[in-house]
């Protein structure tokens, strides 16, 4: 009888370092990896590409029903998915209850039946430990001070837009935090049994060592 897959839920706000840590954990344990935020970015990209408004719930739902996961591996689209405009739109799309419901089963299917017969899956997002996989064996909530997160995001965006300002990035990040934590459906919050990891003053290697220790107990 096949054992149940191990699920590691990694949640946290934008630019907290959760994606980097989740990918490292997945590689370390040879588990499947899913960046659930990329699903909403893909929806937002599609909505914007169609010239529709990301606030329009019907537009988000149409994009969710037409989602092709192959887009997440398309190098021509990946850079666009990381743009600030798509990120802002993704936050708006992700606030729509019907759109989240449509994406929920996709996420759970990957967690419950990891591709390539992997023994487990690492999912990162904002509601993995609370909504998507509340039964996850390990839950880590990754955070960092807003100013630290803004600088990280700013340095990433500079590679594509040399004119972007740190002040604008910080303002956008705080606005996104507010939207994500105050939405009525699946708000950003730590699960009661999640272990907290503050990466504000940690290097990538230090943060990974800390995360590894948390999920190895």
Sheet holding 32-35, edge to edge: 32-35, 120-125, 6-11, 138-143, 195-198
How far is the C-alpha of 205 from the C-alpha of 38, rounded, in Å? 24
Conformational region of residue 186, where left means phi above 0, alpha means psi within -120 to 50, and beta covers everything else:
left
For 56-109, write each residue's pLDDT tens digit.
Answer: 999 999 999 999 888 888 888 988 898 888 988 998 998 899 999 999 999 999
Question: Is 30's pLDDT higher than 90?
Answer: yes
- Number of residues written out for the chain: 217
For 35-64, write each residue's pLDDT tens digit.
Answer: 999 999 999 999 999 999 999 999 999 999
The pLDDT score that the predictor gives to residue 79 is 84
Structure tokens at 93: 């799309």
Domains in the chain, CATH or no CATH each = 6-198 (3.40.50.300)
């Amino acid at each position: 009888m096949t054992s149940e897959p191990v699920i590691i839920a990694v949640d946290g706000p934008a630019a907290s370092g959760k994606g980097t840590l989740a990918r490292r954990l997945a590689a370390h344990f040879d588990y499947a990896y899913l960046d659930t935020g990329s699903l909403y970015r893909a929806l937002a990209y599609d909505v914007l590409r169609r010239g529709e408004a990301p606030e329009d719930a019907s537009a988000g739902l149409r994009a969710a029903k037409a989602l092709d996961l192959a887009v997440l591996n398309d190098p021509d689209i990946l850079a666009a998915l990381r743009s600030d405009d798509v990120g802002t739109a993704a936050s708006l799309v992700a606030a729509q209850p019907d759109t989240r419901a449509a994406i929920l089963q996709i996420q759970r299917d990957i967690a419950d039946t990891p591709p390539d017969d992997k023994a487990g899956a690492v999912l990162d997002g904002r509601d993995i430990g609370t909504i998507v996989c509340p039964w996850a064996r390990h839950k880590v909530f990754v955070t960092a001070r807003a100013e630290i997160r803004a600088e990280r995001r700013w340095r990433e965006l500079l590679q594509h837009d040399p004119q972007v300002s740190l002040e604008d990035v910080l303002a956008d990040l705080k606005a996104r935090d507010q939207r994500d934590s105050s939405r009525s459906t699946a708000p950003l919050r730590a699960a009661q049994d999640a272990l907290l990891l503050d990466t504000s003053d940690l290097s990538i290697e230090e943060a990974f060592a800390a995360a590894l220790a948390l999920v190895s107990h």
